[in-house]
Structure 1
Amino acid sequence: MSSLMKGTAILTVGMFLSKVLGLVYIFPFYAIIGQENVALYSYAYVPYTIMLSVAISGAPIAVSKFVAKYNSLGDYESGRKLVRSGLLIMTITGFLSFLVLFLLADPIAHLVITDKEQAFTVSQIASVIRWVSFALIVVPFMSLVRGFFQGYDHMEPTAISQLVEQIIRIIVLLIGSFLVMRVFNGTAQTAISFAVFSAFIGGVAGLISLWYYWRKLQPEFNLKLQNSVSSGQLSYKSIYKEVITYSIPYVFVGIANPLFQLVDMLTFNTAMSNIGLAKVSDDYLGMLNFTTQKIVIIPVMLATGFSMALVPAITNYYTKKQHGALINAMDKTYQILLFITLPAVVGISLLSTDIYHLLYSESAMGSSILATYAPVAILFAFFQVTAALLQGIDYQKWIVFSLLTGILVKLAINIPLVEAFQTKGAILATTIGYAISIIINMFVLKKALNYKSQLVIRRSLLIIALTIIMAAFVIVAHKGLVMMFGPAHSKILALFYMVVCISVGVAVYAFLSFRIGLAQKLLGSKIEKIASKFGL
């Protein structure tokens, strides 16, 4: 058990650090290329993310689940059989994905550019999409090897390779774009092309680190293979049927947010052109799909990190038909999610002007979009968790249905809402689409488990009340700072305002939640010990 917990901890920490690095690099990169060129970068990464998710097809989790299952039966040959054939299939899949994205670069660019007054041309967008497509050649191959290691409870290779891939990608991206823009006085298109190509270089670095671990662990794998027992001769058809069954739900959960972004990418410029705002369309879309989205996703990472730890328990309780324990675990999942996410997104909305100024630049529009967009993070987190709960009780098909329904609703209402409310219309369409997907997920959970909980409703109202009190203190603190020092026109002053206001918000929320015992009930005995030290 301790070995399992250690492996899980290594993988979780590695994934978290990798995601944090994937956020942090944005800020210096933004300073290098400027707000006006951010949209060009995002035009390449949204279709790339979707194609990557399809090419990988949930391989790390699906392969690890398959390998672990048959390893537990002593059948090590089935796992090796999957990997031997899978490496070839993933190589072909990766190359085909590269070709598809490379060849579709022009059609995608034509869908994005709808007006001659837009900041970028079809050829510029097509060019950066082609450059990022090269990464698809190596990443699917790498994902299958990671899944194989995880199936043997070796989490370190995945964690380290992810970090190596991310670190090398970021170093190449930042140094390359800096040299192009600041040393050689190149164009933004050249810098961004180099930046997106860094995903391929990072992938190669990650692959090299996995090769190192393969050489290191190969004697162990071969020894187990020699002692393998047969659990029945599995055909390739049955192997891949089982793996695909495991992987499909993970694909849809993984591409949920990129699909909503893709709808904006394909329709936003058309709507803005229809109302005569083509000149600012690319800039606003860059803020929506890139700069603000990177901030909004932070509380989602924190919340789902806590709540997803409970999901394996859901599967266990459901399998053993322990209905009471299952309902309690679901209750706790929802409460922890809201307890962490709600105050975080409210804080981001209230401090949006200073946050956007500090991380990017002083921008009234950027701040406004961030303030409006931040609350939607609650829906991002709830969709991920409700989808994970459906996986836990083997209702995976409903994830596909709910997501596609939400996407179709977003697609149907996006243009009229953007025409009516501009960028906030796109956010509203995303909110409605996600809300519909979540309602479907929760309805299915209610029907499947006869789930209803007065406790969650009462605790949610309590969390909302605590957040309102916290928000009031933050607003008063911020207004007091502005009265004393004036608006934060410098980054140092914006940082000072943020530190003070965040400290006030955290202190008030923590004090109240500890005082009434909510934090202790939700976060466990360790938090209770911390509270007792402060006399709470």
Structure 2
Amino acid sequence: MRKGEVEHPGRVDEKCRGAERDRIYVRKKTGMLRGAALMGAAMLISKTLGTMQKIPLQNIAGDRVFGIYNAVYPLYQLLLVMVTAGIPVAVSLLVAEREAAGDGGGARRVLRASSWLLFGSGAIGFALLWLNADRIALWMGDSATAPAVRTASLALWVAPVMAALRGYFQGQGDMLPSAVSQLSEQTVRVGGMLIMLAVGWHYGWSDAKLAAGATSGSAIGGAAGLAVIAGYWMLRERGNSGYSYEGNGDGMTAESGMEHTKTRARDRLEGDGLLALMKRLSMLAVPVTLGALAVPALGVVDAFTVPRLLRGTGVSQAEAMSLFGLYSRGQPLVQLVVMVAGAMGAALVPALAAARVRGDEAVMRQQAAFVLRVAWGLGAAAALGLALLAEPINVMLYADDAGTRTFALVGCTALAGTVSAIAAAVLQGLGAVSAPALFMLAAAALKAAFNAALVPAYGTAGAACAGIAALTAAALLGTGAVRRAAGAALPARRAAGIGLALAVMAAVLVLAERGGAPLLGLALPPRAAASALALGGTALGGALFAAAVLRFGGVTARELRALPGGDALAARLRRWRLLPAAE
């Protein structure tokens, strides 16, 4: 514009509108990142609570009740996944589509359709479990599981509708209601379970009633989670009169602009009746549901095979379920390790996806190879630590050393579980979404076959070995898929560095257990001594492994610098002399 010339008012307005659009975009992007972080943190806390609550369950109620819970809960989880897994994603997609068009009424129609769909599906699932509880108990090999199956089924009245509301809020870009609901559900679930166990223990309930009380926590927690998110929804609807929520974290804004677009969207959506929306939601949910089924499938395989196969060896149904409880002792820690590994892998997905979109094959190959090496190294360290410290960890968590050999074998599955979790995240970043689910479903089929072959001869140790074999097959398949998709390779020198670090860690843990256990036993009560050895050994072994990996070249400074904040980390490690000077 020349000096002295007055800018046309229309241009000024256009610039203002452009600046406002930029500010709205930045606010929305920031809100999405914060929302994703909030949901990630809520999910991590919830899963940790859900995993670790099994320990007080066993401490209070014993191994048979623990076994019943671990047999029934995967079945409930599988049915819940079938009913709800993909719907929140589908609802969020359709709600986001309606909100983007400024059609709040259409978004509410999606919520109404999904609520009816999920309520009906939940009711069918409830009927299947409640009416067939005795038959399911017969299939599991212990009649005491029937009351637990029935109380677990009660959660199917509330959890599906809660899932629909979570998807609705996520579609609006507002993650806070879902996060608060998730934390409320899990906290109340654990609290409710512990209260029921305390009441049952006080009044001398049978093992069947104690297990039913424990599984009722799912319904109690689900009701609390539904109440919380329904409260958010009612407040939102009450304040929504004449307004449209943008979902950017800044509150309500009056509807304005885009009237032609809104009118067209409404005209198109008026034809979307409840049945049509239900059909579309179902079609969108199928791929996610199939992928999610792989997670509880292994637990269901164990629940329906291990107790029955143990009974075939001549033990009573009560003893068989107690043995199944002993077999389940190591699973919470393995699940915790795999969960943390999955979270680490998920953090790497955006960088891999960005490299794939850019077509930067060198970066994609380098990052995929690094992640695979870290997966095998961390998984091996976790498995080795759980196996070598099995006895003190067993005593620390469960007050005795019963089933320590099986505990150690179950701990070894941490290697394959970690690799599978991280490989699944990498494959997702590379665009291969369905492959990890297929690998885990194949592992479930292998687990059933290996259980049938090994449990009659070797008992719960055979079931643990079956898990190692089946999960290792899935881990190898996942690793091979990553190598093919990204061209990633595992250099022998880096692998040797990790192997040396594992050897150092193993030697120190063996010496610590053999030398420290007698000394601690003289100074502390048995459980306190075991706790000191388990926690001290875990900290010492982890620190030595990390230091040895760096010193022996398992991870290089160049690879660390490629990570977010890696420059500062590499510089600090060099000052601490943990990285070789040559790097």
Q: Work out whether 1:343 is the aligned partner of 2:364.
A: no
Query: Where does residue 325 of structure 2 map in the other structure?
Result: 286
Q: Work out whether 1:512 is the aligned partner of 2:548.
A: yes
Q: Which residue type is aligned with residue 193 of structure 1? A: A
User: How far apart, CA to CA, are the structure 2 residues paired with 1:10 and 1:429?
Assistant: 37
User: How far apart, CA to CA, are the structure 2 residues paired with 1:193 and 1:148?
Assistant: 32
Q: Which residue type is aligned with residue 32 of structure 2? A: L
Q: CA deviation at 1:527?
A: 3.4
Query: Where does residue 308 of structure 1 map in the other structure?
Result: 346
Q: Work out whether 1:424 is the aligned partner of 2:461.
A: yes
What CA deviation, in whole Å up to 9, does each residue of 1:512-532 have, x standing for no partner?
234457276346345335535
Query: Where does residue 76 of structure 2 map in the other structure?
Result: 48
Aligned residue among 425, 433, 440 for 2:470:
433
What CA deviation, in whole Å up to 9, does each residue of 1:478-499 have, x standing for no partner?
2111343459871111112123
Matched residue of 2:244: which SS?
Answer: helix
Matched residue of 1:223: which SS?
Answer: strand
What CA deviation, in whole Å up to 9, does each residue of 1:111-164 have, x standing for no partner?
122xxxxxx4x2x21111011100011111111211221222222211111111
User: How far apart, CA to CA, are the structure 1 residues paired with 2:221 and 2:421?
Assistant: 27
What CA deviation, in whole Å up to 9, does each residue of 1:388-410 have, x standing for no partner?
44444554444454333332222
Is the CA contact 2:162–2:226 (under 8 Å) kept in the aligned structure 1?
A: yes
Identity %: 25
Is the CA contact 1:306–1:336 (under 8 Å) kept in the aligned structure 2?
A: no
What CA deviation, in whole Å up to 9, does each residue of 1:158-183 have, x standing for no partner?
1111111111122221122112212x
The change in CA–CA distance for 1:269 and 1:484 in structure 2 (over 3 A counts) is: same
User: How far apart, CA to CA, are the structure 2 residues paired with 1:533 and 1:284?
Assistant: 51
What CA deviation, in whole Å up to 9, does each residue of 1:401-434 have, x standing for no partner?
4333332222233211112322122222223333
Aligned residue among 111, 128, 138 for 1:100:
128
Is the CA contact 1:101–1:130 (under 8 Å) kept in the aligned structure 2?
A: yes
User: How far apart, CA to CA, are the structure 2 residues paired with 1:402 and 1:203?
Assistant: 31
| Greater alpha carbon shift after TM alignment, 415-424 vs 210-219 | 210-219
Is the CA contact 1:253–1:384 (under 8 Å) kept in the aligned structure 2?
A: no
Query: Where does residue 495 of structure 1 map in the other structure?
Result: 531
Q: Work out whether 1:190 is the aligned partner of 2:209.
A: yes
Query: Where does residue 404 of structure 1 map in the other structure?
Result: 441
After superposition, where does 1:255-266 map in structure 2 within 5 Å? 255-266=293-304
Is the CA contact 2:366–2:488 (under 8 Å) kept in the aligned structure 1?
A: no
Is the CA contact 1:477–1:504 (under 8 Å) kept in the aligned structure 2?
A: no
Q: Work out whether 1:203 is the aligned partner of 2:222.
A: yes
Q: Work out whether 1:24 is the aligned partner of 2:52.
A: yes
User: How far apart, CA to CA, are the structure 2 residues paired with 1:278 and 1:529?
Assistant: 61
What CA deviation, in whole Å up to 9, does each residue of 1:351-410 have, x standing for no partner?
110111111121241x21121111212222333343344444554444454333332222
Q: CA deviation at 1:254?
A: 3.2
Is the CA contact 1:18–1:163 (under 8 Å) kept in the aligned structure 2?
A: yes
Aligned residue among 474, 496, 510 for 2:509:
474
Query: Where does residue 116 of structure 2 map in the other structure?
Result: 88
Q: CA deviation at 1:63?
A: 2.9
User: How far apart, CA to CA, are the structure 2 residues paired with 1:67 and 1:335?
Assistant: 40
Q: Work out whether 1:6 is the aligned partner of 2:42.
A: no
Query: Where does residue 148 of structure 2 map in the other structure?
Result: 128
Q: What TM-score, normalized to structure 1?
A: 0.88
Aligned residue among 230, 233, 244 for 1:223:
244
Is the CA contact 2:73–2:152 (under 8 Å) kept in the aligned structure 1?
A: yes
| Greater alpha carbon shift after TM alignment, 99-108 vs 515-524 | 515-524
More helix by share: 1
Gaps of 5+ in 1: 114-119
Q: Which residue type is aligned with residue 542 of structure 2? A: V
The change in CA–CA distance for 1:68 and 1:440 in structure 2 (over 3 A counts) is: farther
What CA deviation, in whole Å up to 9, does each residue of 1:9-53 have, x standing for no partner?
211111111122223322222222122321122232121111111
User: How far apart, CA to CA, are the structure 1 residues paired with 2:33 and 2:567?
Assistant: 18
Q: Which residue type is aligned with residue 134 of structure 1? A: L
Query: Where does residue 116 of structure 1 map in the other structure?
Result: none
User: How far apart, CA to CA, are the structure 1 residues paired with 2:46 and 2:363?
Assistant: 33
Q: Which residue type is aligned with residue 408 of structure 1? A: A
Matched residue of 1:363: which SS?
Answer: coil
Query: Where does residue 327 of structure 1 map in the other structure?
Result: 365
After superposition, where does 1:173-188 map in structure 2 within 5 Å? 173-182=193-202, 184-188=203-207
The change in CA–CA distance for 1:329 and 1:382 in structure 2 (over 3 A counts) is: same
User: How far apart, CA to CA, are the structure 2 residues paired with 1:410 and 1:5?
Assistant: 39
Q: Which residue type is aligned with residue 73 of structure 2? A: Y
Gaps of 5+ in 2: 1-28, 247-254, 579-583
Q: CA deviation at 1:205?
A: 0.9
User: How far apart, CA to CA, are the structure 1 residues paired with 2:398 and 2:425?
Assistant: 34
Q: CA deviation at 1:436?
A: 3.3
Specify the structure having the higher radius of gyration (Cα): 2
Q: Work out whether 1:376 is the aligned partner of 2:376.
A: no
| Greater alpha carbon shift after TM alignment, 229-238 vs 488-497 | 229-238
User: How far apart, CA to CA, are the structure 1 residues paired with 2:415 and 2:287?
Assistant: 21
Q: Work out whether 1:254 is the aligned partner of 2:292.
A: yes
Matched residue of 2:173: which SS?
Answer: coil
Aligned residue among 524, 531, 534 for 2:573:
531
Q: CA deviation at 1:108?
A: 1.2
After superposition, where does 1:28-39 map in structure 2 within 5 Å? 28-39=56-67
The change in CA–CA distance for 1:209 and 1:14 in structure 2 (over 3 A counts) is: same
The change in CA–CA distance for 1:374 and 1:457 in structure 2 (over 3 A counts) is: farther
User: How far apart, CA to CA, are the structure 1 residues paired with 2:351 and 2:279?
Assistant: 26
Query: Where does residue 117 of structure 1 map in the other structure?
Result: none
Q: CA deviation at 1:256?
A: 2.5
The change in CA–CA distance for 1:291 and 1:241 in structure 2 (over 3 A counts) is: same
Q: Which residue type is aligned with residue 142 of structure 1? A: M
User: How far apart, CA to CA, are the structure 2 residues paired with 1:241 and 1:439?
Assistant: 37
Q: CA deviation at 1:302?
A: 1.5
Matched residue of 1:362: which SS?
Answer: coil
User: How far apart, CA to CA, are the structure 2 residues paired with 1:80 and 1:506?
Assistant: 50
Aligned residue among 499, 512, 522 for 1:464:
499
Is the CA contact 2:342–2:422 (under 8 Å) kept in the aligned structure 1?
A: yes
Q: What TM-score, normalized to structure 2?
A: 0.81
Q: CA deviation at 1:238?
A: 7.5
Q: Work out whether 1:274 is the aligned partner of 2:312.
A: yes
After superposition, where does 1:231-250 map in structure 2 within 5 Å? 233=268, 235=272, 243-244=281-282, 246-250=284-288
User: How far apart, CA to CA, are the structure 2 residues paired with 1:322 and 1:244?
Assistant: 36
Is the CA contact 1:91–1:137 (under 8 Å) kept in the aligned structure 2?
A: yes
Q: CA deviation at 1:103?
A: 1.8
User: How far apart, CA to CA, are the structure 2 residues paired with 1:267 and 1:508?
Assistant: 40
Q: Which residue type is aligned with residue 345 of structure 2? A: S
Q: CA deviation at 1:200?
A: 0.9
Q: CA deviation at 1:87?
A: 1.1
Q: Would you say how many aligned residue pairs link Structure 1 and Structure 2?
A: 523
